[in-house]
């Protein structure tokens, strides 16, 4: 019986990224990007697939899930006709990922981290296909809700990406949507966090260049922690790091269990064939499924 779930995972990642029209970096290219890639890391048994998984989840988490969103528009965007096309697509459950930055397709994700998303959980969507155009719509997604925050210019050298006004607008318009990210509320918390001060947009810009970040303080003194989870010093989003560890652990257990219970698997599929092959696949929600290929039997 053939079982190689980690090879299957590599093939599934390639299939999904290629389906998005994105380039798939090789293990060698990912290794060259990895600032942590000392001899100890390179010798880790699952180093290559772990690195690929980091890249994959970084890319996937930059994409807007395709579903019917309940669209909410901030007071600042009322009567702005520019938002109608994107708003209607989000509401109808259409794919808006064609309007994302071209950077999402890059093989080198860690060289162009999306700090606005990783720090605040806020997406930026262009108004023209292919991530083109001078202006961008900033959107916060939460469960089934899409909160349209503001329109800002796309300029490399300004502080568009670190404007804390984006969090302020969220706080003013939909405080319930981000309340789970409150670190300190002066109206409810008696103790004031030590060393807590307002970080200017310019300071935040320099922090992000070093893969750093900080909490965000809004006008009434409420302090929000990193709503997007933040990134590691090497540029990997913490959420991608966390989910990779969980997935690799789950797959290792599934593979060990399959190899240790060969006869039970033969009995389950009711076929005694040495060419029996268990295959790992990822469904549309990136959930793991195990399929026996000869009988097309779903094992999980």
Structural contact between residues 122 and 140, judged by C-beta atoms closer than 8 angstroms: yes
Q: Are 20 and 115 in a shared domain?
A: no
Q: Which of residues 187, 214, 236 is at a domain's end?
A: 236
How many Å apart are CA 245 and CA 232, to the nearest integer?
Answer: 14
> Which residues constitute the domain of residue 19?
1-61+237-300
How many Å apart are CA 287 and CA 186, to the nearest integer?
Answer: 41
Q: What is the model's pTM?
A: 0.89
* DSSP 8-class letter at 230: -
Phi, psi of 129, deg, nearest 5: -60, 150
The burial of 30, by beta-carbon neighbours within 10 Å (0-12 exposed, 13-18 middle, 19 or more buried), is given as buried
Q: Are 78 and 169 in a shared domain?
A: yes
Q: Which of residues 236, 254, 272 is at a domain's end?
A: 236
Q: Are 51 and 81 in a shared domain?
A: no
Radius of gyration of the CA atoms of the chain, in A: 22
Q: Are 158 and 100 in a shared domain?
A: yes
The secondary structure of 167-221 as a DSSP string is HHHHHHH-HHHHGGGEEE-TTT-SSPPTT--PPPHHHHHHHHHTT----EE-TTS
Structural contact between residues 134 and 153, judged by C-beta atoms closer than 8 angstroms: yes
pLDDT confidence of residue 40: 53
Structural contact between residues 110 and 235, judged by C-beta atoms closer than 8 angstroms: yes
Structural contact between residues 279 and 7, judged by C-beta atoms closer than 8 angstroms: no
Structural contact between residues 11 and 18, judged by C-beta atoms closer than 8 angstroms: no
Q: Are 80 and 176 in a shared domain?
A: yes
Q: Are 229 and 81 in a shared domain?
A: yes
> Could you report the average pLDDT of every consecutive run of 10 residues in the chain (300 residues)?
95 95 90 68 78 93 95 96 96 96 75 83 92 89 96 78 95 97 86 73 89 91 93 89 95 95 88 86 93 88
pLDDT confidence of residue 111: 56
pLDDT confidence of residue 130: 79
Q: How many domains does the chain have?
A: 2
pLDDT confidence of residue 36: 63
CA-nearest of 295, 296, 299 to 271 is: 295
How many Å apart are CA 116 and CA 164, to the nearest integer?
Answer: 10
Structural contact between residues 140 and 147, judged by C-beta atoms closer than 8 angstroms: yes
């Amino acid at each position: 019986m053939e079982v190689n779930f980690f090879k299957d995972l590599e093939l599934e990642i390639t299939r999904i990224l290629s389906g998005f029209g994105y380039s798939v970096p090789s293990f060698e290219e990912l290794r060259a990007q990895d600032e942590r890639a000392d001899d100890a890391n390179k010798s880790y048994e699952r180093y290559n697939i772990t690195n690929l998984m980091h890249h994959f989840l970084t890319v996937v988490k930059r994409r807007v899930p395709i579903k019917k969103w309940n669209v909410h528009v901030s007071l600042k965007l009322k009567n702005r006709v520019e938002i109608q096309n994107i708003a209607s697509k989000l509401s109808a459950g259409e794919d808006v990922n064609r309007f994302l930055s071209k950077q999402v397709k890059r093989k080198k994700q860690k060289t162009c981290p999306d700090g606005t998303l990783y720090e605040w959980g806020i997406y930026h969507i262009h108004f023209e296909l292919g991530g083109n155009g001078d202006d961008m719509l900033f959107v916060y997604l939460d469960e089934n809700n899409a909160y349209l925050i503001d329109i800002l210019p796309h300029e490399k050298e300004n502080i568009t990406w670190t404007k804390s006004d984006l969090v302020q607008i969220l706080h003013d318009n939909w405080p319930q949507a981000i309340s789970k990210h409150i670190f300190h509320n002066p109206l409810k918390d008696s103790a004031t966090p030590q060393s807590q001060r307002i970080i200017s947009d310019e300071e935040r810009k320099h922090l992000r260049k070093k893969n750093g970040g900080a909490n965000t303080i809004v006008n009434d003194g409420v302090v929000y922690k990193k709503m997007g989870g933040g990134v590691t010093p090497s540029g990997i989003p913490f959420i991608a790091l966390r989910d990779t560890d969980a997935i690799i652990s789950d797959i290792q257990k599934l593979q060990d269990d399959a190899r240790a219970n060969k006869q039970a698997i033969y009995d389950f599929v009711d076929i005694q064939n040495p060419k029996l092959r268990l295959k790992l696949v990822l469904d549309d929600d990136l959930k793991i499924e195990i399929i026996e290929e000869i009988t097309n039997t779903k094992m999980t």
